[in-house]
Structure 1
Amino acid sequence: MGNKTEKSLSELAEYLDAELVGNPDHRISGIADLQCASASELSFINQESYLQHLPQSKTGAVILNSDFADKYAGNKLIVANTYLAYAKVSVLFESLSVLPTGIHPSAVVASSADIDPSAAIGANCVIGEHARIGRGVRIYSGVSIGDRAHIDDNTLIHPNVVIYHGVCIGKNGIIHSGTVIGSDGFGFAPSRDGWKKIHQLGAVIIGNNVEIGSNCSIDRGALGDTIIHDGVIIDNLVHIAHNVKIGKRSAIAGCVGIAGSANIGENCTVAGAVAINGHISIADNSHFHGGTIVTKGNCEPGVFASTAPMQEVKKWRRSSVRYTQLDEMSNRIRQLEKQLTTLLATNSVEN
């Protein structure tokens, strides 16, 4: 990683298990969108709307599926799933700088820390007592890892991440800059003298193949642990409170807040700015639209949404006023229903 990569189309076809139409010796050194790509770059099409850009594109080759293959006469790699193929090929052209194996001279590492010789520890990192760092782990500059924390094999930690004491992170993870894992949950007991802090005695356990975006905050458990299971992906600016559990392969988008002890099932998707109440359970395969306020759990999978869509401000103001009148209107409707029922009963007797 960090080196200039160049692949022939025949090599890419073999790597992607794609059908190649065109020059097998053409060299590719990067990926770009259709409008900007040069002859040495690869593009992809996964929607029909992008076909309009093909005639003017200078791209060296295009990844597309069989439905679109006859729309382009140039070099092409034909696959069943273009977006997945794009994801696979993107790793070949990763430009992240190489972090040398070993411990940078400026790092501060406790004598009791267990660091695998194949790990790479960047400048100004701090690693606490009895911490364990696995094989192939890369920890970039300014990362702080607390006592007894465990980072398993081949996990990548970007600059200025803070990992508190006792946190366990699985294999093949990625944690982006500014994220804090293992800070105290929001636990306080009221008293006559003010708020009395409840010390958070649990930890955070993160499974394998988990990616966490930048500037997230994941709180440690109060007694038990906060648990994020294998394959979960979390976007930037997400808050996960103490004792939350997130099931395998769920996806959490940016600016989501999940309150304490919520239990999110497997294969769920939570779109941006969703707020999830504490102490509720979300069923596997549940999907929430952006901005949804989740106040209660669900036992069955489904697609859920809340909040009014955007409106012109004058209409929104009128609607807001009407919303405050709903209780009064409901009472009036019930009264009218009673009056109507009485009137119908009287008419029936008279007839």
Structure 2
Amino acid sequence: MTQDSPTLSLAEIAAHLGARLQGDGERRVRGLATLRDAGPEQVSFLANRAYLKDLPGTRAAAVLLHPSHAGECPCDCLTLDNPYLGYAELSRLFDPLAGRETVGVHPSAVVGEGVTLGEGVAIGPQAVVEAGVVLGDHVVIGPGCVVGADTWIGAGTRLHANVTVYHGVVVGERGILHSGCVIGADGFGFAHDGGGWHKIAQLGGVVLGDDVEVGSCSSIDRGALGDTVIGNDVKIDSQVQIAHNVQVGDHSALAGCVGIAGSTRVGRHCMLGGGVGLSGHLTICDGVQVTGMSLVTNSIHQPGVYSSGTGAMDNAQWRRNAVRFKQLDEIARRLSRLEKAGRGG
């Protein structure tokens, strides 16, 4: 927050969020902060009961919270049934990047032949937009980005600095691609002749739906024949690897360091925790949640929460358990023989 930050009145915020205001609607604020850190010109929020202990001592101008906690708030409050969703909406009002890009093509950018630019497009310094690209209205291409030939990028999408989008990729509207991500690189396809590897040309593309966000240094590979397809409103964290011909359904979310092997299909409304790995050629149905650091080697056909792996423990205990794990098969066989003997007796 700076002294030049835009200010909003609590009444304006309440109207934007559809929240009920209890307090002074004329009070003006210029930013957001946590309950502990907020000052008298900032709004805070309470969306997790774990932070209820910080509410009595907050110095915020107002707090966004559930109506059930309004009576405990020591300052003005904005009540919503879903305060976390309200916080998400409010954060965008104070986004310092909003509206700061300069419309037009920077003199150092390189724009190829036959490029179509919509209204209000911004192309930053040292960016390269190759021939035949179509950029929709209000697309932002950040400094140092490369957009390959014949790619189509929908209206309102932003590429932060140093994003690489290969040729023949489709990016939907209102997308956000963070620095260092690569969309449309070759999938990992090779044929082995017994002595060496022979590259398989990757002839497909990548299609990203609308409202997709891809984190920094994540990779989405192009298809070998058909396209790799990421559905609408999919959220992909940083350092995620999505291999060729993967399909991810609408509204799914992938946390950091997820890896999905080729031709796997992930359904709608799925959530993959940090470090999850999916083997290739699997089908994950709609509504599946896989907890962090799990390895999935078989298809999942029923919605629910799935886990694998073991939590951290004392090393000596882990070593003993690892030995016992190797003995499980023999223990199971011995138990089966004892059960059969008992039934026979």
Using structure 2 for the length normalisation, give the TM-score.
Answer: 0.96
Q: Deviations over 1:171-210 (max 9, x none)?
A: 0000100000000000000014410000100000001011
Structure 1 equivalent of residue 59 of structure 2: 58
The SS at the match of 2:229 is: strand
Is 2:18 aligned against 1:17?
yes
Name which of 117, 120, 137 aligns with 1:118: 120
Query: Is the 2:285–2:303 contact (alpha carbons within 8 Å) kept by the matching residues of 1?
Result: yes
Contact 1:243/1:260 (8 A) holds in 2: yes
Give the secondary-structure state (helix, strand or coil) at the position aligned to 1:77: strand
SS of aligned partner of 1:68: helix
Q: 2 CA distance for matches of 1:14 and 1:291?
A: 42
- What one-letter code is carried by the residue in structure 1 that aligns with 2:48? Q
The residue aligned with 1:27 is 28
Report how far residue 49 of structure 1 moved.
3.0
- Residue 341 (structure 1) shift: 4.2
Aligned to 1:269: 271
Counterpart CA distance in 1 for 2:67 and 2:277 is 41
Task: Name the CA distance, whole Å, in 1 between partners of 2:234 and 2:261.
Answer: 18
CA distance in 1, matches of 2:340, 2:78: 70
Residues 1:283 and 2:285 are matched in the alignment: yes
Query: Which of 149, 152, 158 does residue 150 from structure 1 map onto?
Result: 152
Structure 2 matches for 1:303-318, cutoff 5 A?
303-318=305-320
- The structure that has the greater radius of gyration is 1
Match of 1:235 in 2: 237
Instruction: Tell whether the 8 Å contact from 2:63 to 2:78 is kept in structure 1 after alignment.
Output: yes
Identity %: 43
**Residues in 2 aligned to 1:193 and 1:308: alpha-carbon distance in whole angstroms:** 38
Distance 1:76 1:202, change over 3 A: same
Cα distance in structure 1, aligned partners of 2:315 and 2:341: 38
Counterpart CA distance in 2 for 1:143 and 1:283 is 35
| Equivalent in the alignment of 1:328 | 330
8 Å contact from structure 1 (residues 162, 180) kept in 2: yes
Query: What are the superposed Cα offsets for residues 208-257 of structure 1, whole Å, 9 maximum, x if unpaired?
Result: 01111111010000000000011111111100000000000011111000
Per mean C-alpha deviation after superposition, the further-off stretch among 55-64 and 147-156 is 55-64
Structure 1 runs (4+) deviating above 3 angstroms are 334-342
Contact 1:99 1:140 in 2 (8 A): no
Cα separation, 1, equivalents of 2:328 and 2:39: 60
Question: Residue 43 of structure 1 aligns to a residue in which SS?
Answer: strand
In structure 1, the residue matched to 2:38 is 37
Q: What is the rounded CA distance, in whole Å, between the counterparts of 1:16 and 1:106 in structure 2?
A: 41
- The AA in structure 2 aligned to 1:321 is V
Determine if the alignment matches structure 1 residue 256 to structure 2 residue 258.
yes
Query: Is the 1:5–1:92 contact (alpha carbons within 8 Å) kept by the matching residues of 2?
Result: no
Match in the other structure for 1:347: none
Which stretch has the larger CA shift, 214-223 or 3-12?
Answer: 3-12
Q: TM-score, normalised by structure 1?
A: 0.94
Letter in 2 for 1:101: V
Structure 2 gap segments, 5+ residues each: none
Could you say what the CA RMSD is over the residues aligned between the two structures, in angstroms?
Answer: 1.4
**Structure 2 contact 148–166 (Cα < 8 Å) conserved:** yes
Contact 2:56 2:72 in 1 (8 A): no
Deviates most, 304-313 or 26-35: 304-313
The change in CA–CA distance for 1:117 and 1:22 in structure 2 (over 3 A counts) is: closer
Aligned to 1:210: 212
Worse-superposed segment, 42-51 or 68-77: 42-51
Give how far 1:298 is off: 1.8
Provide closer, same or farther for how the CA distance between residues 284 and 39 of structure 1 changes in structure 2, counting only shifts above 3 A.
same
3-state SS of 1:91 partner: helix
Q: Is the 8 A contact 1:167 1:182 kept in 2?
A: yes
Equivalence map 1:55-204=2 (5 Å): 55-96=56-97, 98-204=100-206
Whether contact under 8 Å (1:280, 1:296) holds in the other structure is yes
